[in-house]
Chain A
Amino acid sequence: MTMIVERVGLTTVQDFGRSGWAHIGVPHSGAADRTSFLLANRLAGNAPNAAMFETSGGIALRMLADTAVVITGADCDATIDDRPLSRCKATRVRAGQLVHIYRVHTGVRSYVAFAGGIGAPHQLGSLSHDTLSDIAPLRLTVGTTITLGVTHHASSSLDISVNPRSSARLGLIRGPHYDLFDIKFLEQLVHQPWRVSSESSRIGIRLRGAPLPHGEWHELPSFPLVRGAVQITPGGELVVMLADHPTTGGYPVIGVLATADVDDVAQRPAEHTVAWSWIAR
């Protein structure tokens, strides 16, 4: 074992997720913001899929061996013992030191990777904690011990720390049920701001806006959902499917976010405003 969890807020272990099980109802899961996740592994010298911590509520880890730590994603207050720990660079950390991530700000999720990546027995080929199904190969509580694997290549650092991208407008590709709606409805959908609800989670980002012209849509025969699919609920809310989204659903999918824009929306805190524009498919 290489470290012990001394304090833990809302934090899960994530890798790139579970592929190949959605047809029996298992969500893909994995890092919610894949760009920040992949960057952390690259800087830590890890394989692209190596498991790390995804934290919204902070975590404190007591080191039992020398290693290196990298933080990416949302800006956060972090220290090694009492020294501030900056993001987007590989920082040496020695046995006995405490790596502490406090408050997460300018975003929702920070990614904390260690050289070698978190090692533990997989479940269905992944270490990801799927919060919808409660599949958690490695559940984090005070006292949990973490073992690291081996690095893949040399660790490195960026010249500057980068914040998750926050676009003025997110690109929406027409979804499979776009044609069920009339043009006036679709125009209003992109011409009004949408506000991120506090009920958002790793399962989906819920968005509220001004009431839309009354729709006559109803539940459809259940169909598979994908990451980034934007469902419209009978109450007029939009829900963007995130990492732990259910495998099937029945509300119309009006659009699908461009792949990179899913990472963007995953980092929008409650009350943040989101705007869209339709892009060609």
Chain B
Amino acid sequence: MPPESPRVVAYGYAASIIDGLGAGVAAALRDSVVHACAAEQLVVTDVVVGARSVVVTHDSTAAPAIREILQHLSTHFATHSIPTNGPMIEIAVRYDGDDLHDVAEHCGLSVNDVVALHSAAAYVVEFCGFSPGFAYLAGLPTSLHLPRRATPRPRVPRGAVAIAATYSAVYPRESPGGWHLIGTTTHELWDIARTPPAALAPGTSVRFVQMP
């Protein structure tokens, strides 16, 4: 199991990881890491957020300086609460997903309850992964927590609004997927020609608004 308190360790010669972070800390810590590395004129390749971790990829010669920054920030973040300072995005959803009725049944709720709970909650992007622009949204009400589907779908359409485990997400484009589909949106989550290409980045606040 991950340790209870944050620790900074090598992740090979060319990366460093801080893990054991509290829920919701990683995205805010990323901003601080990016700024601290820039202030120290350290060249980093990527600063990537996980559910409870942040990884910096860097030149092997920069490892000691970067680990010192991570160590310093981990003690700072352990004693300060983290404000969510990302942008706020509203995503309009038509609750017409193929799994909506199954979700309601498994959760012992009505379809209207599922829609009301999902659209009333406040979400924050905890981390991204799976495919470009795919954001794991923390904040799903506990009464909607369900394991993934036993059999993933080979094709989930672009714009599908889904839930699984403790997260909600929107599929940025057509892909395979094992999450429960509860709705659809026309919100453009990923456009490689746009700057930035992803609508949702770690730390972004999200609300789902029900469309008639």
Contacts and interface: CB of A to CB of B under 8 A. Distances in A.
Contacts of A226: 11-12, 14-15, 55, 57
A22 B46 contact: yes
Contacts of A257: 12
Interface stretch (B85-93, B109-117, B127-135): B127-135
A20 B11 CA distance: 18
B11 A229 contact: yes
A125 to B, nearest CB: 11
Contacts of A227: 14
Nearest to B193: A123
Interface stretch (B71-79, B95-103, B150-158, B194-202): B194-202
Interface in A112-142: 123-124, 132-133, 135
B13 A25 contact: no
Identify the interface centre among B48, B130, B196: most chain A CB within 10 Å of its CB.
B48
Interface residues of B, number: 42
A19 B46 contact: yes
Nearest to A130: B132
A122 B198 CA distance: 17
Contacts of A160: none
Contacts of B135: 25
A259 B133 CA distance: 28
Nearest to B51: A221
Contacts of B50: 221-224, 248
Contacts of A222: 50-51, 127, 129, 136
A281 interface: yes
A28 B135 CA distance: 18
Contact of A176 (B19, B30, B129, B201): B19
Given A20-B46, A123-B192, A223-B53, 5 more contacts: A25-B133, A223-B52, A246-B129, A256-B13, A256-B15
